[in-house]
Amino acid sequence: MKVAQVDVVYGAGSTGKIVKAIHDHLLDVGHDSKVFYGRGPDEGEPNVSKISHDLEVFVDAGLSRLTGYTGVFSPMATNKLLASLDAFQPDVVHLHEIHGYFVNYFRLIEYLKKRNIPVVWTLHCEMAYTGRCGYAFGCDQWKTACQKCPQLNDYPRSLLFDRSAVQFERKKNLLSDMDRITFAPVSNWLHDRLTQSFLKNKQATVVHNGINTAEIFYPRDTADLVRRHQLEGRYIALSVAPDLMSERKGGSWVLEIAKRSLGKPITFVMIGVVEKLTDLPPNVIVLPPTRDQNELARYYSLADVFLLTSQSETFSLTCAESLACGTPVIGFDSGGPAEVAPRPYGYFVPFGQVEKLASLLLDGYRGELPIAGDDECVKYARSSFSNERMCEDYLNLYEESRRHV
């Protein structure tokens, strides 16, 4: 079987790691696989092609902000992708995140429709059924028709114009008559949202994301990290995101809880901070983002609890990674994470209720939270979120999509 994957990134970030895992698995079991991605370094791997030039991405982002339209620019990258697909002649095209200023996704979908190519589209976010945004948060206009978007200043940012109504109708018209497509929401929570959108009658199967539980995300020795950061006798709460201080990831909530925890032997380790923070509480250690997955696994293993403060997550790969390293989760109930880490592997409170989350953390520190131990977390994560399980699920979905007419 010949499978082509399209994503904004490859090998890095949550979706990029998933794409690489699927690609490697397909090659290992004898299928013909190619990946086309838009942003990041040129990896130089066989059968993996970066289709965009950084300058074109920059121009696409600028035009999107000026005009309010998204997913309609990048003509050179789009032409390169469509020509590559013509040359490869895939049996199935697997779409991931096709926004991100690197391709005209309206042209891409029209191409796939015209050639009647079976499509599997993994929904990592909500962009497929909204007028413009990847995370609708509290807005529910997408259930009927987007208009007067309340999130124009959020990604994908528009400086002047609100095109949400136009783009919503165009997506609806584009996808409504597309028959050979199967959506793969990454959580039951996202699947429920899908069934309330204009895509409610489309074929959809939940496929939980996978992680490398065999070679990367497993419990590690962390004695050197304890010495490096002087953490002897400390209870450690870890938070991780590439953009941890963004509003969606909620790093400011971590700092608030840290301030409330002063005087307790609790240290907060924040990985993914690029900003210069002032008035940093003395019980907080901030570290930059890392692409070193082995280093990340060591920090997961170091922590006593993983602290999630996101406003919205359709799955939360970091929760799965933490569990695989033996560390349970507490956080805000923000969509998919409570499904990834159900009790006793995780405990969640309503978003924004910082007092309750701080109290939950203290219960964990005092040993008063009936939370799963290290071995239980590892066993659960390996059985639920291995790359092998995810890849086999997608292989089955590819076969089903080829039969679906």
Report yes or no on 394 lying in a domain: yes
> Is there a single domain that holds both residue 180 and residue 250?
no
Return d(Cα 311, Cα 354) in angstroms, integer.
Answer: 12
Look at residue 99 and tell me whether its pLDDT is greater than 70. yes
pLDDT of residue 404: 67
Q: What CATH number does residue 321 fall under? A: 3.40.50.2000
Report yes or no on 324 lying in a domain: yes
pLDDT bin (cut points 50, 70, 90) of residue 403 is: confident
pLDDT bin (cut points 50, 70, 90) of residue 44 is: confident
Look at residue 340 and tell me whether its pLDDT is greater than 70. yes
- Which distant-in-sequence residues (6+ apart) come within 8 Å of 317 by Cβ? 14, 17, 18, 209, 211
Look at residue 251 and tell me whether its pLDDT is greater than 70. yes
Look at residue 169 and tell me whether its pLDDT is greater than 80. yes
> Is there a single domain that holds both residue 397 and residue 365?
no
> Is there a single domain that holds both residue 186 and residue 65?
yes
Return d(Cα 124, Cα 212) in angstroms, integer.
Answer: 18
Report the number of secondary-structure helices (H) and strands (E) in the chain: 14, 13
Radius of gyration over every alpha carbon of the chain, rounded to an integer in angstroms: 21
Report yes or no on 261 lying in a domain: yes
Predicted confidence (pLDDT) per residue in 2-28, tens digit: 999 999 999 988 899 999 999 999 999
Q: Give the global pTM.
A: 0.93
Domain count, the chain: 2
> Is there a single domain that holds both residue 200 and residue 240?
no
Return d(Cα 68, Cα 42) in angstroms, integer.
Answer: 29
> Is there a single domain that holds both residue 29 and residue 130?
yes
pLDDT bin (cut points 50, 70, 90) of residue 370 is: very high
Mean pLDDT for 176-195 is 96
Question: Which residue stretches of 115-246 are H helix?
Answer: 164-176, 188-194, 223-228
For the stretch 172-192, what's the b/e string if a residue is b when 16 or more beta carbons lie within 10 angstroms of its beta carbon? beebeebebbbbbbbbebbbe
Per the structure, the complete domain to which residue 359 belongs is given by: 223-384
Predicted confidence (pLDDT) per residue in 263-299, tens digit: 999 999 999 999 988 889 999 999 999 989 999 999 9
Token couple for 340: 């990834």
Mean pLDDT for 361-388 is 96
Q: Smallest Cα–Cα separation from 100: which of 162, 172, 51?
A: 51
